[in-house]
Amino acid sequence: MNAAATGATPTEWWRDAVIYQVYPRSFADANGDGEGDLPGITSRLEHLASLGVDALWLSPFYPSPQKDGGYDVADYRDVDPRFGTLADAEALVARAHELNLRVIVDLVPNHCSWDHADFKAALAAGPGSPEREKFIFRDGTGADGSLPPNDWQSMFHGPAWTRVTEPDGTQGQWYLHLFDPSQPDWNWDNPAVRDDFDATLRFWLDRGVDGFRVDVCDALVKAPGLPSWPHLNLGVVRPIDGKFPPMWDQEGIHEIFRRWRGVLDSYEGERILCAEAWLMPDRIARITRPGEMHQAFNFAYLETKWRAEDLRATIDTSLAANGAVGAPTTWVLSNHDVIRHASRFGFDADLELQDGIGADDPQPDRELGLRRARAATLLMLGLPGAAYLYQGEELGLPEHTELPDEFREDPTWERSGHTVRGRDGCRIPMPWEKDARAFGFGDTDTTWLPQPDYYGDYAVDQQSGRDGSTLELYRAALVQRRELGLGGGELEWLPDLPEGVLGFRNGSVAVVANTTREDVELGDRFADATVALASGVGSPRLVPADTTVWLRLAG
Ligand code: NOJ
């Protein structure tokens, strides 16, 4: 058992951890039904151990109608039969701990599924009932209440309100859903909701999990009176006309985080909370204050273009904001909600990719994307703080940008009237073995989303042990990051580098990233250094285009 399981040695392991995100439906399929499952994940945990990560974070595997890929939870304290059983979840945690991997699970507190027993009870109980008080029900506006209570927009497009049919068969109240209509928002002003989530935390903590990634944690509390907000804020939330959206980042969220922190701290070991909140670093750092969450995703970094000056600015603001409250900064380039970075970086021009990439859109250059993705990853892993990886990025896996539209499951595709493609392209089942069925994802030919033919070339068995492969680059980077103490170090910018080149010193290492399309000469300044690792063929004197090098400094 490791420290996480015994609570023996507090290490603040999370400050410089590398945490690997598993998307259960697409990782490994043990029962051959075309969808990944928990036994499949357990059977592949050695891959994570040999990659050298500290922890895995599992996206939701709870009972769910899967209207939003499991972020529509029907029961927070069980396992969906498609993914296995509670015993399978316990076996996964046990095996991970044997391999010295900590396990973080997803907490989805802003909304549940319309299949949740409490929501069904709320519908059945009718207006004014205590059951409805667990959600955000309001009467409609207009003469007959047939207009929504306010002008808020769903993140998946269309109104954020849906009208219900009352038990007596009449058209009745409306309920709020910041996401899909199948995801009713909880009412966090109701103490019963707070108590119920404490029970969910305890349920999983009792089963040995090492923490929670907390879904849209900045939306739990809405501004009193639900004031008008006709805008749709996608990506990192910024004020519009000097005003901040009334559904995000309200002051009341912090007491909830402090309450949860109290629950986690009452357990042995170091169990952590990681905030999913698309906020600017200065607002993020209010969530990572002492006594609240341990860390938060850095989406400002994820959104930063592959440009030296932009990267430097985001790195500076992130480190300053989190540093001021004593929290580590995190870094992330890919997850199950965004275009994989190996594809995002595969365009020469600055394209607007908010609506996703479909078969008829300009296609990324796979070679360019991979080259930059490797460079971006090596830059990220050289930065002090914690880093999050998304399954498949260690293979340099591109987005499936030509997924036929009929396979799309992301609710945004329908709700946007087929204008926003959504996130299916980054959720394609993993390729493990080139010559196996479904590239080793399962032992049948079925996969819930089709894998492009070329995914076989990226399979784990094609890269493992092959010099220069992306998988070996990640493995080497994680070994060296630990040996050189990069995650726990301090960053010092290197002055006078050519335009488009970013360089900093972290302990005994200089990290130099060339974000331009031209090779860059560094002259003699690192003449005494040796290359510890490079995303391409770098040297202390020359960093090729779109390449990052880690230079071990002399003395
Ligand atoms: C963020 C999750 O990562 C995303 O997949 C989901 O659709 C929304 N939150 C709503 O739960």
Domains for the chain: give ranges and CATH numbers: 15-105+233-244+273-474 (3.20.20.80), 117-176 (3.90.400.10), 491-552 (2.60.40)
Alpha-carbon distance of 435 to 471, in angstroms, equals: 18
What pLDDT shows up at residue 3? Answer: 39
- In our burial notation (b when 16+ CB lie closer than 10 A, e otherwise), range 121-143 reads ebbeebeeeebbbbbbbbebeee
pLDDT score for 351 = 83
User: What are 26-72's pLDDT values in tens digits?
Assistant: 999 999 999 999 999 999 999 999 999 999 999 999 999 999 999 99
- Residue 5 reports pLDDT greater than 60: no
- Cβ(179) – ligand 1 distance below 6 Å: yes
Q: What is the mean pLDDT of residues 331-357?
A: 94
Share of the chain above pLDDT 70, in %: 98
Does ligand 1 have an atom closer than 6 angstroms to the CB of 68?
yes
Q: Report d(CA 280, CA 408) in Å as an integer.
A: 31
11: pLDDT confidence band, cut at 50, 70 and 90? confident
Q: Residue 2: what pLDDT?
A: 39
163-190 mean pLDDT: 97
Cα–Cα distance for residue pair 147/125, rounded to 1 Å: 22
Over residues 122-138, the pLDDT tens digits come to 999 999 999 999 999 99
Tokens representing 308? 């030296």
Residue 425 pLDDT grade (very low, low, confident, very high; cuts 50, 70, 90): very high
Q: Residue 325: pLDDT band by 50, 70, 90 thresholds?
A: very high
Which of residues 10 and 34 earns the better pLDDT score? 34
**The tokens 């021009």 sit on which residue?**
349
For residue 68, give the ligand 1 atom closest to its CA: 7
Interhelix angle 366-381/470-483, rounded to 10 degrees, is 10
Is 378's C-beta closer than 6 angstroms to any atom of ligand 1?
A: no
Q: What is the mean pLDDT of residues 216-232?
A: 97
For residues 446 and 437, what is the distance between their CA atoms, to the nearest angstrom?
9
215 lines ligand 1 (CB under 6 A): yes
For residue range 248-304, what is the model confidence (pLDDT) as tens digits?
Answer: 999 999 999 999 999 999 999 999 999 999 999 999 999 999 999 999 999 999 999
> CB count, 10 Å around CB of 504?
22
What's the 502 CA to ligand 1 centre distance in angstroms? 33
* pLDDT at residue 476, as a whole number: 98
CB 549 within 8 A of CB 543: yes
Q: How much is the pLDDT for 319? A: 98
Look at residue 524 in the predicted model and tell me its pLDDT: 93
Pocket residue to mutate for ligand 1, from 58, 59, 68, 248, most atoms within 8 A of Cβ = 68
Q: Choose between 352 and 317: higher pLDDT.
A: 317
Q: In which band, very low, low, confident or very high, does the pLDDT at 6 lie, cut at 50, 70 and 90?
A: very low
How high does pLDDT run on average in the chain? 96
For the cut 70, the answer to whether the pLDDT of residue 362 exceeds it is yes
Label residue 499 exposed, middle or buried (CB < 10 Å: 0-12, 13-18, 19+): exposed
pTM exceeds 0.75: yes
Hey, what are 345's tokens? 């970086």
Residues 6+ apart with CB under 8 A from 251: 221
Q: Which amino acid is at 309?
A: E
Phi, psi dihedral angles at 216 (to 5 degrees): 25, 55
Give exposure, 367-402, as e/b (b: 16+ Cβ within 10 Å): ebbbbbbbbbbbbbbbbbbbbbbbbbbbbbbbbbbe
Q: What is the pLDDT of residues 503-544, one digit of tens each?
A: 999 999 999 999 999 999 999 999 999 999 999 998 999 999
Output the pLDDT for position 10: 56
Q: Give the residue whose CA is nearest to atom 2 of ligand 1.
A: 215
pLDDT at residue 1 greater than cutoff 60: no
Residue 7 pLDDT:
42
Q: Is the CB of 29 under 6 A from ligand 1?
A: no
